[in-house]
Structure 1
Amino acid sequence: MRTYRRRFMIFAASLASSALFNQESRADAPVLSESDPTAQGLGYKTDAARVDKAKFPKYQAGQTCANCQFFQGKSGDMTGPCTTFGGKLVNAKGWCSAYVKKA
């Protein structure tokens, strides 16, 4: 239960920070690293094929940042800003536990 609470708090903080995020151009946005503390807390991987399925049982094949509602890149982009991570650029083929399928 403690792990879920911590993930929720990290997720909530990242959403709050994204609301304050100044819309920089994509070229100016930093690329999210897997070693970033928020990325680690949410299990972000630049390649969804490397997700630890035992640690993140919610992961399902086919889930990627590119088809997540928080991904702000255009279709076909290799990277794009993610509101979960305050607008930092994430890999379109990546994944994190905040994944929500685009409607």
Structure 2
Amino acid sequence: MNTRRQFLIQTIPAALSLGVALKASAQANRIEENAPAATALGYKHDATKVDAKKYPAYAAGKNCANCMLYQGKPTDAWANCAALGGKQVNAKGWCMAWAKKA
């Protein structure tokens, strides 16, 4: 017969392992700036690093968090992006697919 203490001792490490695995999975879903799709759209994790001469559509204040393709809340640090195949982008990032959120 298991006691509650034995149950907790057995389940807490498993739950912690699952949490670590989920976090690693979420980070693995983040797009890298050198990925082909990101490069094609001029994606940068930090919008302030965008070359405004190369990408004249960029303007200060435009970032993923205020783009209609950003599938998270504006307060989320990372969220999926419809333009980049559902990969996660940085809220502070930018790419050529940026469109003002309605």
Answer whether TM exceeds 0.5 for this pair. yes
Distance 2:77 2:93 in 1: 10
For the pair 1:78 / 2:71, whether they are aligned, the reply is: no
Q: 5+ residue gaps in structure 2?
A: 1-24
CA distance in 2, matches of 1:44, 1:70: 13
Contact kept, 8 Å, 1:29 with 1:89, in 2: the verdict is no
TM-score (norm 1): 0.72
Higher RCO (C-alpha under 8 Å, 6+ residues apart): 1
The number of residue pairs the alignment matches comes to 78
Matched to 2:97, the amino acid is A
Query: Structure 1 segments of 4 or more deviating over 6 A?
Result: none
- 1:1-103 alignment runs, 5 A limit: 27=26, 30-103=29-102
- What percent identity do the matched residue pairs reach? 53
The separation in 1 between residues aligned to 2:57 and 2:46, in whole angstroms, is 16
Bigger Rg, which one: 2
CA distance in 1, matches of 2:28, 2:65: 17
Across the aligned residues of Structure 1 and Structure 2, the Cα RMSD in angstroms comes to: 1.5
